[in-house]
Structure 1
Amino acid sequence: MVTLGAAVVDRLSLQLTLLLFLSVVVVTLFTALLTAPQRDEISEFYLGNRTMSPLRNGLAMCGDYLSAATLLGSTGLVALTGYDGLLYLCGTAVAWMMVLLLVAEPLRNSGKFTLGDTLALRLSRMQRPVRIALAICTLTITTLYLVAQLVGSVALLTQFTGEPSANTRLLCVVVIGTIVIVYAAIGGMPGATFIQIVKAVMLISGVTVTAVMVLNRFDWNVGSLLGTAADNSGLGSRFLEPGLRYGGSTTNKLDFFSLQLAIVLGLAALPHVMMRLLAPKSSTVLRTSVVWATGLVSLVCLAAGILGLGATAIVGRDTIAETDRKGDAAVLLLAHDLGGAVLTALLSCLAFVTLLAVAAGLTLAAATSLAHDLYGAVIRKGRAKETEELAVARLAAVVIGVLGMLLALVSWGTNTATLAFLAFAIAASAILPTLVYTLFWRRFTAQGALLSLCGGLATSVLLVVFSPVVSSTPASFYPSVDFAWFPLQNPGIVSIPAGFLLGWLGSILSSPEVPQSYEDFEVRTLVGAE
C-alpha cells in the first residue's frame, strides 16, 4: 500500500485489527442482546442495573468520558507540543474533581432519569418550556459529539488505507453507526454499560502496558525519556517549556484557558455523563464510583502523556508530523516500533471500540431526552404508558443514529476536535449554569433556567460561527472569506460567564418560585430517596 497508511501500519496490522474488532463487536453485540431489558420498564432501559458495584460503575463512568481523542489526539498533542500537551491532559483529569465535589451526589439524590426531572422537581412554573429548552441543548451537544465520533472513525481508517474514497467513507460510517444504533436501541443502558466496561478495561490495560514498555525502553529513567524526547523533537529545551502551542500571543494563551475552562466545567454537564451519575442506587455507591472514575481517568491521562513523550523520543517529532500533521498517528507509530503488527493492531482495535462505546452512550442520552423529556413530559404531559415511552425511546435512538450518520458524511473533512470542544462549551455554558443554580440557589426561577439554557447555547454557537474556526484562516471551514470578529477558537471564556449571568438576570427579574418548593427540594438533594 503506497499510501499515508503505509507509513503507519502494514497489511498484517490491518488484518489483525479487523479480526480483533470483529471479535469484540460480535461478543459485545451478543452480550448486549442478552443483557437488554427483558421487561417493559423504562427505568431498566434508562438506568440499567442499579445494583452494580462501585468499581463497575466507575469503569462505566470512565468509559463514558474517555474517547478516542484521549488515546489518539491527546497523545499526538503531547508528541508534537510537549509541555502544552501535558498541561492539556491535566485539565482532562481535573475535570472529574468538580464532578466529585460539586454535582454528583445532589444530582443523584434529586434526579430520576434526566436533568429535566430534577428541574421539574425544583421549579413550580413553566416546566414544559424548560424541558423543551433542555432537550434542545441536550440534542445539540450529543449530536455534535456523536458526529465527531463517526467522523473520527473514518479519520482512523485513513491510518490504514490512506485517503478513503467516498464509498469507503460511506461504508465505514454506516457500519459503525448501525452497530451504535443496535447497542442503544436494543441494549439500552444495560447494553451500553457492558460495552463501556469492556472498553474501559481494554483502554486502561492497553495504554498502561504500552506506557510500561516505553519506560522499560528507557530503563525506567524519566529524565532520560524527557531528554531524548527533547532531542528528537528538533526543538531542544523548548519542547519541555510552555508556549509551544498555546504560547506566544495573548490570544493563544486566552484560547488555551478558554479550552481548559470548557473541558473542566463541561464534563459535569455532558448528558451521557449525567445519566451515568443517576444510575447508582445509593449515594455511597455513587461517591465511591466517582472516586474510582477519577483515579482511572487520571491513570489513562498519565499513560497518554508517557506515550506522547515516548512517541517523540522513539519515532521522532518530524516523522509524526509528516505522517499526520495533527499527531493522531503518533500512538500507532510508537506501537509499531515497540510491538510490531500485534501491538499496533491491539491499539487500533482499541481506538475503534472506544469510538463505538462513546457513540452508543451519546445516542442513548439523546434518545432518553427525546422520549422522556419531549414525548413523555411535554407532548403526553406525563400520561404516557411505560411501554409507549420505551417504544419512542428505541425509535428515537434509530433516528438519532441515522441523523448522526448523515451529518458525519456531510461533515467529512471537519476537524473532529472542533466539534467535540463546541459540545463541551455548550454543556458548560448552558446546562452547567442551570444545574448549579438549580441545586444551590434558592432564588433561581424558571425564567432564569430558560435564559441560561437558550442564552448559553446561542452564545456558544454564535461565537464559534464568528471565530477563526469558520473563516479567515487556511484551516477554517471557509478560508477565502473573513467575518471572524471573535478572535478565539474556543468560546468558553465568554459563553460560560454569559450563561451564568443570564440565569441570574432572568431569576432576579422574575417572580420567585414557591418558597416551600425549594425547601422540599433541598431536603431531597441532601437526603435523597433510596
Structure 2
Amino acid sequence: MVTLAAIDDSSLQLTFVLFLTVVVITLFTALLTAPQRDEISEFYLGNRAMSPLRNGLAMCGDYLSAATLLGSTGLVALTGYDGLMYLGGTTVAWMMVLLLIAEPLHRTGKFTLGDTVALRLPRQQRPVRVALAVCILAIATLYLVAQLVGSVALLTQFTGVPSGTTRTLCVVVIGAFVILYASLGGMPGATVIQIIKAVMLIAGVLFTAGWVLYRFDWNPNALLERAADRSGTGLAFLEPGLRYGGTVSNKLDFLSLELAIVLGLAALPHVLMRLLAPRSSGVLRSSVLWAIGLVGAVCFGAGILGLGATALLGRDAIESTDRTGNASVLLLAHELGGSVLTALLTCLAYLTLLAVAVGLTLAAASSLAHDLYSEVIRKGRASQTEELTVARLSGAVIGTLGILLALVAWGANTATLAFLAFAIAASAILPTIVYTLFWRRFTAKGALLSLYGGLLSSVLLAVFSPVVSSAPASFYPEVDFAWFPLQNPGIVSIPLGFLLGWLGTVLDKGPAEESTAHEEFEVRMLVGADD
C-alpha cells in the first residue's frame, strides 16, 4: 500500500477535469445510443451491424483493464523478463478465444452462454442456467470489486492513503457511473465507452512508448542496457527467474498464473457476451483478429513503458514510492511530460477501470435477467418489457453490491482479486463451454459438477493460500492457515474442473438427451444460422 503521494496535486486536478469531461461526453453519447424500444436483443447485443474494426476495438476495450496499464507495467519495471512473459500471456489468450470457442459459441448462442447450453441440453437446461448464473455473478463481482478498489489505489498515488470519506466518495462516484452506463445504456452504451477507451488507451500507450524510445535514440538495445544497469540486478533483470524463479513453488505459481490468464479469458462473462454481438461469423472472425492485434500493440507498448520506467527512474525509486510497482507508469509520465502527461495517463487509467466495470456489470445483469429470471423463474414466459426491466434493476443491484464490497475490501490486492476471477472462469465455465461444444456425450450432471466444483475449488484454494494468510501482503498477515502454497489456484482447479465435468458425465446413468437436440446443435455449430 502506498503511504505517500507519488505525484503532485496539479496532476490530480487536471486528471479530475479531463476524466469528468470524458465521462460527460461518453455518458451523453451512451444515453443517445441506448435502446429506445423494449427489445432485449438491442439491450443485450446492441448494434450488430458494426464493422470488424469497431467490434475489435470494443473487444479490446472489454478485456484490457487498468491492471494492464498499471500492474503489468509495474511488473515489467520491477522484474524485467518475467513481467514481459506475463504480458505475452495476455496476448496469447486471445489466440485461444479465436481458435477454440469464438465461432462455435457465436453460432450456437443467442444472448448468453446459458442459451448455448439450453440448445445442447434442452431437458435439463434450468439447473445448469442457475449454476452458470452463480458462477458468472461470482466472477463479475470479484472483477468489479477489483476495478473499484483499483480506483482507490490509483488515488493514493496523488494523496497518499486517503481518508475514509475520500475513499467512499471515490468508490461511490465510479460505481454510480458504472450503474448508469450498464443499466440505462445496455450493450450500445457499453460499446460506446469501450471503443472510446480502447482508442485512447492504444494512442496513449503507444505515444508514451514512442517517447521513451525517442529518449534512447530509437535504440532498443540502449533501453535494455540502461534498464538492466538501473534495476540493481544487472543482467539478471533481462533473464527469467527474477520473480518467478528459484524455488519450485515460484515456478509453479507462474505457470498457474499463466494458465489462469490464457484459459480464463475465453470464459470471462463480458468477453463471452461480446462474442455474440457481431451479426455473422465472418465479422466475428475479423473482429477477433483486430482484437488480437490491438491487444498485442498495447502489451508491446506496456512492456516498453515498464523498461523505460526502470531505465529513467531506477528500480529503487519506484519501489520506494510503491512496492507493487503500480506507480511506475505515472512516475514515468511525470518524468517525461510533467503534470500534463501524468494527468492524461491517469485519466486513461480511470476510464479503463470504468469501462471494464461497465462490461462486467452488464454481463452479470444479463445472465441474472435472462438465464435466472426469464428462463428459470418465469420459465420463458416473461415479456420483453418485463425482462428488460429486470435486467436494468439487476445492473443497479450488482453495481451497488460491488460498491459495498469494495468499501469493505479497499485494502485488498486488486491483481489478486482479478486473477482469482480468471481462475474461476477457467476452472468452472471453460470446461462447460468446451464439453458443451465438442463432447457429444456431455450431460447436465457433468455441467453441474464442473461449474460448482470449479467455483468451490478455486475459492477454497485461494482462501487457504498465502493470499489470505501467512504472508506480509495477505489479508490476515498475522495468522497462518495457508496450506496451499501458491498465490493462484489455477494449476489445480482448472484440471479439476475438466475432471469433474468428465466424471459427472460418465457416472450419469440418467436418460440421454434427445438425439434430435444433438443433431440440431451440431448442425448449428458447424453451419450456423447466419452462414
Provide TM-score, normalisation by structure 1. Answer: 0.99
Q: Please give the secondary structure, in 1, of the residue aligned with 2:459.
A: helix
- 2:452 aligned with 1:428: no
Q: Could you report, residue by residue, the CA deviation over 1:467-500 in whole angstroms, capped at 9, with x for unpaired residues?
A: 1111122221122222111111110001000000
- 2:371 aligned with 1:368: no
Cross-structure match for 2:335: 337
Cross-structure match for 2:394: 396
Q: Distance in 1 between the 2:528 and 2:515 partners?
A: 19
Cross-structure match for 1:528: 528
Q: Please give the secondary structure, in 2, of the residue aligned with 1:294.
A: helix
Q: Distance in 1 between the 2:496 and 2:520 partners?
A: 29
Match of 2:255 among 257, 262, 274: 257
Q: Distance in 2 between the 1:331 and 1:195 partners?
A: 23
Q: Could you report, residue by residue, the CA deviation over 1:105-159 in whole angstroms, capped at 9, with x for unpaired residues?
A: 0000000000000000001332111000000000000000000000000100011
Q: Could you report, residue by residue, the CA deviation over 1:43-76 in whole angstroms, capped at 9, with x for unpaired residues?
A: 0000000000000000000000000000000000
Q: Please give the secondary structure, in 1, of the residue aligned with 2:499.
A: helix
Cross-structure match for 2:83: 85
Q: Distance in 1 between the 2:227 and 2:193 partners?
A: 35
Q: Distance in 2 between the 1:349 and 1:489 partners?
A: 30
How much does 1:320 deviate? 0.4
How much does 1:515 deviate? 2.4
Q: Could you report, residue by residue, the CA deviation over 1:186-239 in whole angstroms, capped at 9, with x for unpaired residues?
A: 000000000000000000000000000001110111110000000011111111
Q: Give the 5 Å matches for 1:44-83.
A: 44-83=42-81
Q: Could you report, residue by residue, the CA deviation over 1:424-443 in whole angstroms, capped at 9, with x for unpaired residues?
A: 00000000000000000001
Q: Distance in 2 between the 1:343 and 1:481 partners?
A: 42
Q: Distance in 1 between the 2:279 and 2:513 partners?
A: 30
How much does 1:3 deviate? 7.2
Cross-structure match for 1:410: 408
Q: Give the 5 Å matches for 1:344-493.
A: 344-493=342-491
AA aligned opposite 1:244 = L
Match of 1:503 among 497, 501, 508: 501
Cross-structure match for 1:517: 517
Q: Distance in 2 between the 1:42 and 1:123 partners?
A: 23
AA aligned opposite 2:354 = L
Q: Distance in 2 between the 1:124 and 1:370 partners?
A: 19
AA aligned opposite 2:338 = G
Q: Distance in 1 between the 2:196 and 2:122 partners?
A: 42
AA aligned opposite 1:521 = F
AA aligned opposite 2:18 = L
Q: Is the 8 A contact 1:137 1:430 kept in 2?
A: yes
Cross-structure match for 2:163: 165
Q: Distance in 2 between the 1:122 and 1:214 partners?
A: 52
Deviates more, 1:468-477 or 1:261-270: 468-477
Q: Distance in 2 between the 1:188 and 1:410 partners?
A: 28
AA aligned opposite 1:443 = R
Q: Give the 5 Å matches for 1:237-316.
A: 237-316=235-314
How much does 1:516 deviate? 2.5
Q: Distance in 2 between the 1:467 and 1:448 partners?
A: 28
AA aligned opposite 2:502 = W
Cross-structure match for 1:24: 22
Q: Is the 8 A contact 1:444 1:513 kept in 2?
A: no
AA aligned opposite 1:433 = P
Structure 2, unaligned stretches of length 5 or more?
A: none
Q: Please give the secondary structure, in 2, of the residue aligned with 1:4.
A: coil
AA aligned opposite 2:48 = R
How much does 1:11 deviate? 2.3
AA aligned opposite 2:4 = L
How big is the alpha-carbon RMSD for the aligned residues of Structure 1 and Structure 2?
A: 1.0
Cross-structure match for 1:35: 33
Identity of aligned residues (%): 78
Cross-structure match for 2:232: 234
How much does 1:527 deviate? 1.2
Q: Could you report, residue by residue, the CA deviation over 1:352-375 in whole angstroms, capped at 9, with x for unpaired residues?
A: 000000000000001001100110
- Poorly superposed stretches of 4+, deviation over 4 Å: none
Match of 2:207 among 206, 209, 216: 209
Q: Distance in 1 between the 2:257 and 2:124 partners?
A: 33
Q: Please give the secondary structure, in 2, of the residue aligned with 1:383.
A: coil
Q: Please give the secondary structure, in 1, of the residue aligned with 2:20.
A: helix
How much does 1:308 deviate? 0.2
Q: Please give the secondary structure, in 1, of the residue aligned with 2:412.
A: coil
Q: Please give the secondary structure, in 2, of the residue aligned with 1:482.
A: coil
Cross-structure match for 1:135: 133
Cross-structure match for 1:183: 181
Match of 1:326 among 324, 327, 334: 324
How much does 1:505 deviate? 0.6
Q: Could you report, residue by residue, the CA deviation over 1:2-24 in whole angstroms, capped at 9, with x for unpaired residues?
A: 9722xx32222112111100100
Q: Distance in 1 between the 2:380 and 2:281 partners?
A: 27
Q: Please give the secondary structure, in 2, of the residue aligned with 1:381.
A: coil
How much does 1:513 deviate? 2.2
Q: Please give the secondary structure, in 1, of the residue aligned with 2:161.
A: coil
Q: Please give the secondary structure, in 2, of the residue aligned with 1:502.
A: helix
Q: Distance in 2 between the 1:269 and 1:505 partners?
A: 21
Q: Distance in 2 between the 1:292 and 1:462 partners?
A: 37
Provide TM-score, normalisation by structure 2. Answer: 0.98
Cross-structure match for 1:150: 148
Q: Distance in 1 between the 2:141 and 2:38 partners?
A: 27
Q: Distance in 2 between the 1:335 and 1:475 partners?
A: 27
Q: Please give the secondary structure, in 2, of the residue aligned with 1:462.
A: helix
Q: Give the 5 Å matches for 1:99-138.
A: 99-138=97-136
Q: Distance in 2 between the 1:10 and 1:127 partners?
A: 55
Q: Distance in 2 between the 1:116 and 1:220 partners?
A: 50
Q: Is the 8 A contact 1:472 1:478 kept in 2?
A: yes
Q: Distance in 2 between the 1:131 and 1:152 partners?
A: 31
Q: Distance in 1 between the 2:464 and 2:123 partners?
A: 35
Q: Distance in 1 between the 2:117 and 2:426 partners?
A: 17
Q: Distance in 2 between the 1:509 and 1:14 partners?
A: 59
Q: Distance in 2 between the 1:310 and 1:437 partners?
A: 44
Q: Distance in 1 between the 2:394 and 2:448 partners?
A: 24
